[in-house]
Amino acid sequence: MLIVLGVDDSEHAEVAARHAITYAAAMDAELHAVHALHISGTVVTALASVPDSVTDFAKAERESVWSRIDPILGDAEPVVHVDLDGYPPDTIAEYADEVGADLIVVGSRGRGGVASLILGGLSLWPEVPPLSSYLVAIPFGLSSTGIPVTPGGLGLAEVTLEALFSFIGAPASYALLMMLGFRLGQVATVALGVVLYLASSEARQAVREAPDRGDP
């Protein structure tokens, strides 16, 4: 049996390493600890003017990871250390497929937002679509409420927005949550309109029923 452990220099990776060691011992499995380094294009561009800076940056990052993880792995059976380059979720999954791993162990979360942007996070969540994708998908999705197929586009808008969100790589649940907020906003607007209408009707009725006092 073969277990692939995805690591980075986060507390969650330490927890994952301890679990992987436990699994490997219980299943008499071979353990591969894999670190996938992904340096964003922004950082590469910023360091391009300094000779060897990208190489030194990558080396320092790898040393930081293994210096944190190796003390934990030290108590396990011989572990295969693997250094790869690429977006961590995809790279680790591809490696596991290549070696025929039976189990992949990773932390539920990796680095914080800024560190993940620069170095790549370990979490197996998909990449978040850019804001521009939402700004295109949402107006198109909401415009379907005007198509005279169902009353107020009920159901049609939800299906359309869910399809658009899936197309840009966003979870479909985001679309349903956004449409729930949109529908609640519609209900609140209608309720406010009814209240104002009733209030104005009562005012007009009071004016009509007021006695005519004549001109001053």
pLDDT digits (tens, 9 = 90+) for 14-53: 888 988 898 888 888 999 999 988 776 555 555 555 556 6
Q: Decide if pLDDT at 215 tops 70.
A: no
Residues 75, 73: Cα–Cα separation, whole Å:
5
The verdict on 54 and 98 lying in the same domain is yes
The verdict on 100 and 157 lying in the same domain is no
Determine contact, residues 104/16, Cβ cutoff 8 Å.
Answer: no
Q: Of the residues 59, 94, 119, which one is the last residue of a structural domain?
A: 119
pLDDT on residue 109: 55
Give the structural domain span for 61. Answer: 2-119
Beta strand ranges found along the chain (DSSP E): 2-6, 30-37, 80-85, 103-105
Angstrom distances, CA of residue 197 to CA of 82, 114, 152, 206: 70, 51, 21, 14
Which comes out higher in pLDDT, residue 3 or 216? 3
Residues 137, 133: Cα–Cα separation, whole Å:
6
The verdict on 60 and 146 lying in the same domain is no
> Strand, helix or coil at 104?
strand
The verdict on 113 and 92 lying in the same domain is yes
Residue 191, amino acid: A
* Total number of domains in the chain: 2
